[in-house]
Amino acid sequence: MKRWIGGLMIGILAWGIAACGGPAGPAAPGPSGEIQITMSEYKFQPSAIQVKAGQEVRLVLVNAGKKTHELLIGRGVKTEEGKPAGYQENLFASIQVQVSGENFEYEEDEHAVVVEPGGKATIVFTVPEGWSGELVWEMGCFEDNGVHYEEGMKGQLTIIKR
């Protein structure tokens, strides 16, 4: 009985790994440059992405959750009254972006793409080919006075230089 359970456990584990495609690395855009990130309570899926300098990226945000979510890409979390409230440095402060979609808002001063439940926003940007800035950035949502961020709604964007 014990051995049977052991065998079953290994079977389930193997199935689980196969179903997830093995230990996944950061998601990268396909040839079209498109990559979709699903937002929900309280996560980005996938939570790690990588983009190539010089390649046009179409980052499609889909809010599949019940709450409003946002995407900021930056470094160094700043706080307001002790709560996480955005980044000190934002990637989109130094890269031109175009944002379009439905039920979304681009808050240019905060470099935040805010998406309502059921909404969708497409961010088009290209990291310049000769990029000499930082390569590792954090993605975060700071809605509800930073509660989303504290609940783990964060991820990583890595820039690959070619």
Region from 55-63, 83-91, 93-101, 133-141 binding Cu ion, contact rule CB under 5 A:
133-141
Query: Which parts of 77-161 fold into alpha helices (H)?
Result: 147-150
Asked if 121 touches Cu ion (CB under 5 A), the answer is no
Which one of 9-17, 49-57, 112-120, 138-146 is the stretch in contact with Cu ion (CB under 5 A)?
A: 138-146
C-alpha span between 144 and 133 (Å, rounded): 31
121 and 70 Cβ atoms separated by less than 8 Å: no
CB of 55 closer than 8 Å to CB of 126:
yes
Within residues 75-104, the interface with Cu ion by CB under 5 A covers none
CB closer to Cu ion out of 52 and 69: 69
- The reply on whether position 148 binds Cu ion by CB under 5 A is yes
Instruction: Report the residue from 143, 146, 155, 157 that binds Cu ion according to the rule CB under 5 A.
Output: 143
**72: closest CA among 150, 151, 144, 141?**
141
69 binds Cu ion (CB under 5 A): yes
**Mind giving me the DSSP string for 50-71?**
EEETTSEEEEEEEE-SSS-EEE
Give the binding range for Cu ion (CB under 5 A) out of 51-59, 84-92, 114-122, 149-157.
Answer: 149-157
Out of 153, 154, 155, 157, the residue judged to bind Cu ion by CB under 5 A: 153
User: At 24, which helix (H) or strand (E)?
Assistant: none
SS3 state at 19 = helix
Site size for Cu ion (CB under 5 A): 5
**Quick one: which of 141, 146, 154, 155 contacts Cu ion (CB under 5 A)?**
141
Residue 43 in the binding site for Cu ion (CB under 5 A)? no
154 binds Cu ion (CB under 5 A): no
SS3 assignment, position 102: strand
For Cu ion, the binding residues (CB under 5 A) are 69, 141, 143, 148, 153
